[in-house]
């Protein structure tokens, strides 16, 4: 079937060319100008340069950016970047309003930054870990919760008036800084037990995160 089709096509082409030359010889004054014009058109079209293809850009390149703008951290996201450093990665798009509540979102190479307009809270999430800037400082948590957990506040107490040390690790010898009674400490993690002592993971007023023996902390009223 294919061979027969090719023979028919070849025959049509052959007889078309043969017919063209017969007409050319019988009517040269008409056919020669038409032939010259057709050849000129073909040469002109062949010499034209095709239009350049549209620039190829990645799907996420400079998304949500204004003309001439490049992705960068601003406002609360810039402050989060200052605290988190490389953990936050680099922005892959400009920050933009992401819902009807007026919240702002910005995707990065490491996760997603989000600003909650209602609470004025910037957060960053890698999916498993989360950070936020709160009135009590930068907090970190894990899990599915998108909002930072409420932080418990404890006071240094029961020290006989001599205060206690914040430790870098839950070890009595690993002292970081001394704090007097009534100093407010913020709980930032789960308790742990070491050397038969229960330790609380806290942040001190200077922003240091460490450990204090549980007997020396009492909840604020």
- Mind listing the pLDDT tens digit for each residue in 146-164? 888 777 889 999 999 999 9
DSSP H or E segment with residue 24: helix 2-26
Buried b (16+ CB within 10 A) or exposed e, 20-40: eeeeeeeeeeeeeeeeeeeee
CA 108 vs CA 26, 85, 103, 130, 183: distances in Å: 76, 12, 17, 14, 37
pLDDT of residue 139: 82
Identify the pLDDT of residue 56. Answer: 43
Q: Tell the residue number behind the tokens 């989000």, with chain if given.
A: 114
- With a cut of 90, say whether residue 212 has pLDDT above it: yes
Long-range contacts from 52-60, C-beta under 8 angstroms, 24+ separation:
60/92, 60/93, 60/107
Q: Of the ranges 29-33, 40-44, 107-111, 140-144, which is most confident? A: 107-111
Q: Which CATH number fits domain 153-219: 3.40.50.11540, 2.60.40.10, 2.30.30.40, 3.40.50.300?
A: 2.30.30.40
pLDDT(199) > 90: yes
Give the pLDDT score at 29.
Answer: 58
Which of residues 176 and 47 earns the better pLDDT score?
Answer: 176
Q: Where in the chain is the domain with CATH 2.30.30.40?
A: 153-219
Answer for the pair 150, 139: CB distance below 8 angstroms, yes or no: no
pLDDT surpasses 60 at 98: yes
């Amino acid at each position: 079937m294919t061979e027969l089709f090719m023979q028919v096509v070849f025959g049509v082409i052959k007889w078309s060319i043969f017919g063209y030359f017969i007409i050319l010889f019988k009517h040269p004054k008409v056919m020669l100008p038409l032939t010259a014009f057709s050849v000129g058109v073909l040469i002109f079209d062949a010499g034209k340069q095709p239009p350049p293809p549209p620039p190829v850009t990645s799907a996420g390149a400079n998304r949500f950016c204004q003309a001439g703008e490049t992705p960068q951290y601003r406002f609360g996201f810039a402050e989060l970047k200052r605290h988190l450093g490389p953990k936050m990665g680099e922005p892959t798009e400009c920050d933009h309003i992401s819902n009807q509540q007026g919240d702002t979102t910005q995707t990065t190479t490491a996760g997603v930054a989000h600003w909650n307009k209602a609470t004025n809270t910037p957060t960053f999430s890698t999916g498993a870990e989360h950070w936020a800037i709160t009135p009590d400082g930068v907090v970190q948590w894990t899990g599915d919760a998108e909002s930072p957990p409420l932080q418990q506040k404890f006071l240094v107490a029961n020290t006989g008036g001599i205060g206690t040390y914040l430790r870098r690790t839950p070890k009595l010898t690993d002292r970081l800084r001394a704090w007097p009674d009534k100093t407010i400490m913020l709980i930032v993690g789960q308790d742990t037990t070491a050397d038969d002592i229960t330790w609380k993971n806290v942040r001190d007023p200077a922003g240091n995160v460490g450990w204090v023996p549980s007997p020396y902390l009492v909840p604020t009223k």
